Amino acid sequence: MNKRIIAAAVVLAAVAIAGTVVFLLMGNWRINDPYAEIYRDGELIKTVSLYEDTEFTVYCGDGYNVVTVGDGKICVSSADCPDKVCVRQGKISGAVPIVCLPHRLEIRVVGGSKEVDA
């Protein structure tokens, strides 16, 4: 085999492994004193503590998303968007946001300092 092909394969493997490690660490971030910011069309519309169990509906044009907060986590429990990716994402409490593209809705968990759970 050509030395360039071997070198390219080694570099590609190293980049893939590094990307996987970063992705796994991002998913394990835990946030102290968490609260959620709910954005519609890029505008902050509501802030909720993850320590308060609640449920509310966010209306987005002709559609809606039902947001449920409980046990320190937040999720979109139901929505009338066609793909329902936001519902299937499940409950979050860390750095990965919930996004509903058809309704232009984003839910971010934010708060105090971030700790990596390794």
Looking at the predicted structure, is the pLDDT value of residue 115 above 80?
Answer: no
pLDDT at residue 15, rounded to an integer? 86
- In tens, the pLDDT along 6-16 reads 888 888 888 88
Q: Which of 99, 118, 101 is nearest to 109 (CA)?
A: 99
Does 117 score more than 80 pLDDT?
Answer: no
pTM for the whole thing? 0.67
DSSP string, 27-77: HTEEESS-EEEEEETTEEEEEEETTS-EEEEEEETTEEEEEEEETTEEEEE
Q: Which residues contact 99 (CB under 8 A, 6 or more apart)?
A: 85, 86, 105, 106, 107
pLDDT in tens, 38-87: 999 999 999 999 988 999 999 988 899 999 999 889 999 999 999 999 99
Q: How many CB atoms lie within 10 A of CB 83?
A: 11
